[in-house]
Amino acid sequence: MTSLDDLPIRDDLRGRTPYGAPQKTVPVALNVNENTHPIPEDVAHDIVARVAAAILSLNRYPDREFTALRRALADYLGHGLDVDRIWAANGSNEVLQHILQAFGGPGRSVLGFAPTYSMYGLLASGTGTRWITAGRDDDFELSPGTAVAAIREHDPDVVLLCAPNNPTGTPLSLDTITAVADAARGIVVVDEAYIEFADPGTPSALTLLEGRPRLLVSRTMSKAFAFAGARVGYLAADPAVVDALRLVRLPYHLSALTQAAALGALAHSDEMLAMVDEIRGQRERIARELEHLGFRPYRSGANFVLFGGVDDPHAVFEALLDRGILIREIGLPGCLRVTAGTEAETTAFLEAIANFAPSTRASAAATPAASTATTPASTPE
């Protein structure tokens, strides 16, 4: 049988592995940061009606410029944005791919701050762009000084800032984003896939777009909108950037069905986002309870919590999986990541993870010594 090694693939792709989060059918799936709340029934009916109407014209190509969708996205984002400053694609991953196809490529580089979203490196390799990583500060934070020092060292063509950061959940200040935008000579992308879960009042990088034609803000409908299966991502940028992305996109890349479904969801944005407060509450509950159990939850502005203090992450991952609970191994020593789900899903996770808590281990270790001390008659004099 022919193997991948037998094929004449590009040399820079040899030895690489594709993106792959575990896909398992379990009662509690909290591993890929989905919004685990279902779409409201009345919204679902409206989306179905819009998709059904679109089916009647599937013999024709869709609107190549997806104008109605861009208008709806501009209205949702606000900040004075107009249609000519909006782009969309099949998930924010394709948006980022378009960016690297237009502004990266052979002989160019893209800089990220590790640990960060694993797809960045894969998108870089797929577009022939050199992937560079720089470090973060303690507790996965990223200060203006650290970020700017990396830009001055590496002089990248593109900078990717994940805000809040995946997989750590770390919020990113506007001070850091501003410093990066001012220091970088090329394109700066702020990936705000999880921004709707940030604490109320957290400013978006959208506030920084005016007067910065090389600053791009990427978003997705997969997370807060509970629309992961629809695959809709988008960005806001200078109109010239949107023109550049047109040069690399495939013709009619957003299907009529995708456009219809996204328009239906955006028409009910308030209802679609109504569960965000509840998810934030579960995120804080997870962090609070994990800390009480002796784990080390890190600061998160997303819909997930990264936590340390895990002696054997793979063993704990497998043990939770045996209990029907799927979370995420991310390769950070002593750490695991869990999505904030519904109240019932969070309860199931917290009850299960308590069996592996540092505080539980400490109590178990102390018990034999305490027992021996209180039962001298059981040992010979």
Query: What is residue 317's predicted lDDT score, i.e. its pLDDT?
Result: 97
Fold entry, domain 22-35+275-366: Aspartate Aminotransferase, domain 1 (3.90.1150)
Query: What is residue 118's predicted lDDT score, i.e. its pLDDT?
Result: 94
pLDDT value at 14 more than 90: no
Average pLDDT of the residues in 23-40: 93
The whole-angstrom separation of Cα 49 and Cα 46 is 5
pLDDT value at 373 more than 50: no
Percent of the chain with pLDDT over 90: 87
Where do the structural domains in the chain lie, given as residue ranges? 22-35+275-366, 41-268
Query: What is residue 380's predicted lDDT score, i.e. its pLDDT?
Result: 32
Lowest-confidence segment of 64-73, 155-164, 372-381 by average pLDDT: 372-381
CA-wise closest residue to 234 among 225, 203, 127, 130? 225
pLDDT tens-digit series, residues 88-137: 999 999 999 999 999 999 999 999 999 999 999 999 999 999 999 999 99
The whole-angstrom separation of Cα 137 and Cα 107 is 29
CA-wise closest residue to 129 among 153, 99, 149? 99
Query: What phi, psi does 188 have (nearest 5°)?
Result: -120, 120
pLDDT band at 6 (very low <50, low <70, confident <90, very high): confident
Contact 324, 27 (CB under 8 A): yes
- Structure-block tokens of residue 101: 């196809």
pLDDT band at 11 (very low <50, low <70, confident <90, very high): confident
Query: What is residue 2's predicted lDDT score, i.e. its pLDDT?
Result: 84
Query: What is residue 158's predicted lDDT score, i.e. its pLDDT?
Result: 98
Average pLDDT of the residues in 287-297: 97
Ramachandran sector of residue 211 (left: φ over 0; alpha: ψ -120 to 50; beta: rest): left
Average pLDDT of the residues in 268-282: 95
pLDDT band at 25 (very low <50, low <70, confident <90, very high): confident
Can you name the residues that pair with 160 across neighbouring β-strands? 189
Query: What is residue 363's predicted lDDT score, i.e. its pLDDT?
Result: 57
Q: Taking the model in full, what pTM does it have? A: 0.91
pLDDT value at 15 more than 90: no
Lowest-confidence segment of 28-32, 280-284, 290-294, 366-370 by average pLDDT: 366-370
pLDDT value at 378 more than 60: no
Residue positions counted in the chain: 381
Q: What is the DSSP letter of 343?
A: H
pLDDT value at 370 more than 50: no
CA-wise closest residue to 158 among 214, 207, 208? 214
Domain 41-268 has CATH 3.40.640.10: yes
- Chain mean pLDDT for the chain: 93
Angle value at C-alpha 34, between 223 and 301, nearest 5 degrees: 60
pLDDT band at 368 (very low <50, low <70, confident <90, very high): low
